[in-house]
Structure 1
Amino acid sequence: MTLQPVHLAVYDTLADWETGHATAYLARAGYRIRTVGPSEDPVVSIGGLRVLPDLALDAVRPEDSSLLILPGADLWDSSEDLAPFARKAREFLAAGTPVAAICGATAGLAREGLLDDRDHTSAVSFYLAATGYGGGERYADADAVTDGGLITAGPTEPVAFAREILGLLGVYEGEVLDAWYRLFHDSDPAAYAVLEKATADR
């Protein structure tokens, strides 16, 4: 079975470190990672990486995707430039295609109203409250949350963010997913043996 690609949003000031665990292990599992920019013009990350998007946001359709990943970026809080990505997330969720948002992207989704009726998390509750959104009662003080096809996480939880993504797409499950998290989050050497066996059994 051919897997639909995973679409990774890229834009100026994107936080490079927030999606690497997820995209690396999705790619190892056979997913093609396609970068999506505001246009096809290059963007520059917070870390100074110059990224040439594979395609522009307007060209992305939920039916052609397994997942849309929205990393954090300074622009989420300093302008309306990234609002089209939040609107695209609405389109994905309405079509039943999942979305994963971390750090500032959670605020963008809050402004779009996408967190009003879903359990979610972010950096801290008052960060999202400042957007004026209506979902404060659904905020969870957790490393990452999945609800209604939407994954959210705060900026210090890229490994938990990846765990939710890998679990949602079935890359790892159960004790193997737990072992992956323990290895990369907790540096638990015992978890490596579980992952090695799972890889050998595939």
Structure 2
Amino acid sequence: MVTVYVYILDTLADWELGHVISELKSGRFFKKDAQRIALKTVSCSNEPIHTMGGMTIVPDCLIDDIVVNETSVLLLPGADTWSDPKHGTIIEKASEFLSLGATVCAICGATVALANYGLLDNRPHTSNGIGYLDMFSPCYEGKNHYIDKPSVADNNLITASSAGALLWSKQIIKHLNVFQSSTLEYWYEYFSTGEPKHFFALMQSLSSNDE
């Protein structure tokens, strides 16, 4: 079983996590032999957090409860509160994840937190622009590794801009290998274009998976 830890903090950007956590939790498009996924919310305290959209979330566990192994995944969503020093603990944990070969997926404001810790200095990554990282992370030294795309996957590090949530979700799902490749492509095409033909192709890919 793979455990996916979702870090939650006040002002969390609800929409950035929507696609990926709903698919990993529901498993509705998983291939027949997909590995099981355990999804857990984690925070720096037991206190409930309040998302940007006004939702209240109570964490399942604390940072100290995280078990890191090569199959573990850590999702770091965007938020307006990443500058609070108390979130440094989860970035230290993210560094541990990367060192052990576990996966870290960061989007929008969370990329600044990684940059502040030097975790983007030597790896391909993206964010809301080099200027964004320069503005909010004075110690950022990863310009030569910046890729101007909505989402960038570099082995066990997947980063995205605030506009890259769907592609970020696709890359995370691909990394976890829980969808058939055709299902994942149709899923992405449908949600990125809204064209009905991709929805029917998505449904058909699930039928072929059952054969």
Give the shorter-chain TM-score range: over 0.9
Total equivalences in the alignment: 199
The 1-side partners of 2:85 and 2:153 are apart by: 26
User: Which whole-Å deviations, capped at 9, do the CAs of 1:44-83 have from their partners, x for residues lacking one?
Assistant: 111111111000112112128631100011011x432322
The 1-side partners of 2:72 and 2:180 are apart by: 17
Compared with structure 1, are the counterparts of its residues 173 and 114 closer, same or farther at alpha carbon in structure 2 (3 Å cutoff)? farther
The 2-side partners of 1:25 and 1:104 are apart by: 23
Q: Does 1:136 align with 2:146?
A: no
Q: Which amino acid aligns with 1:152?
A: T
Are 1:37 and 1:53, in contact at CA under 8 Å, matched by a contact in 2? yes
Matched with 2:23 is 25
Are 2:70 and 2:101, in contact at CA under 8 Å, matched by a contact in 1? no
Per-residue deviation, 1:158: 1.3
Q: Give unmatched runs, 5+ long, in structure 1.
A: none
Are 1:71 and 1:103, in contact at CA under 8 Å, matched by a contact in 2? yes
The 2-side partners of 1:64 and 1:58 are apart by: 17
Q: Which amino acid aligns with 2:62?
A: A
Structure 1 segment 1-202 matched on structure 2, within 5 A: 3-29=1-27, 30-63=36-69, 66-76=72-82, 78-130=83-135, 131=137, 132-200=139-207, 201-202=209-210
Q: Which amino acid aligns with 1:118?
A: R
User: Which whole-Å deviations, capped at 9, do the CAs of 1:132-162 have from their partners, x for residues lacking one?
Assistant: 2111111111110011300000111211110
TM, length-normalised to structure 1: 0.92
Per-residue deviation, 1:4: 2.1
The 2-side partners of 1:112 and 1:183 are apart by: 37
The 2-side partners of 1:64 and 1:151 are apart by: 15
> SS state of the match for residue 142, structure 1?
coil
Per-residue deviation, 1:9: 0.5
> SS state of the match for residue 169, structure 2?
helix
Per-residue deviation, 1:86: 1.2
The 1-side partners of 2:193 and 2:180 are apart by: 18
Question: Quick one: percent identity of the two aligned structures?
Answer: 37
Are 2:70 and 2:102, in contact at CA under 8 Å, matched by a contact in 1? no
The 2-side partners of 1:18 and 1:88 are apart by: 21
> SS state of the match for residue 133, structure 2?
helix
- Bigger relative contact order, structure 1 or 2 (CA pairs below 8 A, ≥6 apart): 2
Segment of structure 1 superposing worse, 97-106 or 3-12: 3-12
> SS state of the match for residue 37, structure 2?
coil
Q: Give unmatched runs, 5+ long, in structure 2.
A: 28-35
